[in-house]
Amino acid sequence: MNAITLRLDSQAKEPLYEQIYQYIKSEITIGRYPYNTKLPSKRQLSAYLQCSQNTVQAAYDQLTAEGYIISKPKSGFYVCRLDGIISIKKESFVPQKQTDSKLKCKYDFSHQGVDLYSFPFPTWRRINKNVISEYDTDLLKTGDPQGDINLRYSIADYLHHSRGVNCSPDQIIISSGTEFLFLLLIQIFERDKIYAVENPGYEKLNLIFKSNGAEFRSIALDEYGMIPEELFKSNADIACVTPSHQFPTGVIMPINRRLQFLNWANEKAGRYIIEDDYDSEFKYSGRPIPCMQGIDGGEKVIYIGAFSKSLTPAVRISYMVLPEPLINIYKEKLSFYICPVPVMDQKVLCQFINEGHFERHLNRMRNIYKGKREALVTAIRSLLPFAQIFGANAGLHLILKVNNGMSEEELITSARKNGIRVYGISQYYFDNAPANRQPLLLLGFAALKLSEITEAVGLLKEAWG
């Protein structure tokens, strides 16, 4: 390989490992280190750069995590192909604190979680440091019940430009998690409304409604999402839908069906649509469809979003946009609830958005997830020819229909025996799943490494083939 021209700058904002990582990534990307180039050993490189081996290790781990290089046992690190899919052994990079049963499996296609190697920690750390200031007495006060006004401005801007949502900061309520937003909604509607939920759907919705004495009906889906006729037949007042990427089926609701629902809501006072846009940030193909809130002009749609998928679920920040009459009810009856998100966290997020880091992070993540999604689709097409893919045009999971004669339970169990965790759709049905239903599996890909995906699908092939 070529000479290393990097000079580490210990004064730079970026940590040393990051400088090494950036340098090598750049050399690989521009082709100066072609496929199969052997990188210097950690000892050689640390001696040459006069840094610790741990620093080099961290850089190599990061490069490995993103699939730029591969570690060959007893030989060293080699440059990967950048276009193709690679298959590597599990790294010991992830600190494993939890000892739950998930860790016993080799690869987990859970739909929860995000990419574990792309969170902008240095930026987040820097902004936190800025925000924790002895001169900011806001940090010693309760804060606005609807959430920090500046953060609400930033969210309104973001929603307007990226999702076509039409709202003022005054209509936004910031909370911690979608669940708490639903708790507020149930109180706004005073338990005298009937909710319609997608079936199959987000498993917590029925638990929340049940647990809080709110009536609900589960409505079947077809290939375009919730079936309007079924909704119309029910006596529901409020339809809870996930039109951008139905959970769990991955269906993107077409524009004319969205209009059907909006017309239904407009037919009668007191009818509303709750549009949960939980992973709308990631769309990979097809024309973008405006969110229902934007089509409607904001009169009949309660729009819900969160930073769980776009940043990390550990930052518990979600929000909803309420139509004018509902925000008035909230202010009159419910503004005694203190905003559950710590003031400091709201300020950090606000600065993160305003300095442009959120936009960059989203675009970067979209590329990363697009790569993972393509790797998964490619591997499935070549290794599991008896399986069909659905719902892969958006979001962080897809649906697999496996036509090999096995039941959903058998598919899950045999995958599990081969070290892979996959999830059946059955658990997302509120009543029993239809008896003659084809087995469907939910495969999340956000938290898997790009380099693991082909091997994981290979293990599924062994299990099901």
* Residue 321 CB partners (closer than 8 Å, separation 6+): 159, 165, 167, 171, 172, 293, 298, 302, 303, 304
Report in angstroms how near the CB of residue 60 gets to its own copies at its nearest: 9
Q: In terms of CB distance, is 259 or 338 closer to its own copies? A: 338
Residue 175 CA to residue 422 CA, distance in Å, equals: 31
Report in angstroms how near the CB of residue 333 gets to its own copies at its nearest: 7
Question: Does residue 173 touch its own copies according to CB under 8 A?
Answer: no
Q: In terms of CB distance, is 268 or 287 closer to its own copies? A: 287
**Contact at 8 Å (CB) between 302 and 326?**
yes
Size of the site for its own copies (CB under 8 A): 120
Question: Hey, which residues between 109 and 138 contact its own copies (CB under 8 A)?
Answer: 112-116, 119, 121, 124-125, 128-129, 132-138
Residue 353 vs residues 147, 279, 343: alpha-carbon distances, Å: 15, 18, 16
Q: Which of 1, 207, 255, 259 binds its own copies (CB under 8 A)?
A: 207
User: How many CA atoms within 13 Å lie on the side-chain side of 397?
Assistant: 28
Closest CA relative to residue 201, chosen from 243, 168, 144: 243
* Binding window for its own copies (CB under 8 A); candidates: 51-59, 270-278, 379-387, 453-461: 51-59
User: How many CA atoms within 13 Å lie on the side-chain side of 290?
Assistant: 16
Q: In terms of CB distance, is 264 or 284 closer to its own copies? A: 284
Q: Which of 39, 45, 49, 58 binds its own copies (CB under 8 A)?
A: 58
Question: Hey, which residues between 299 and 338 contact its own copies (CB under 8 A)?
Answer: 308, 312-317, 333-334, 336-338
Question: Hey, which residues between 354 and 383 contact its own copies (CB under 8 A)?
Answer: 354, 356, 358-360, 362-364, 366-367, 370
Q: In terms of CB distance, is 105 or 344 closer to its own copies? A: 344
Closest CA relative to residue 241, chosen from 230, 217, 225, 259: 225
Question: Hey, which residues between 410 and 449 contact its own copies (CB under 8 A)?
Answer: none
**Contact at 8 Å (CB) between 423 and 383?**
no
Q: In terms of CB distance, is 312 or 388 closer to its own copies? A: 312
Question: Does residue 388 touch its own copies according to CB under 8 A?
Answer: no
Q: In terms of CB distance, is 26 or 266 closer to its own copies? A: 26
Residue 390 CA to residue 397 CA, distance in Å, equals: 10
Q: In terms of CB distance, is 187 or 414 closer to its own copies? A: 187
What single-letter DSSP state applies at residue 297?
Answer: T
Structure tokens belonging to residue 460: 């599924």
Report in angstroms how near the CB of residue 154 gets to its own copies at its nearest: 8
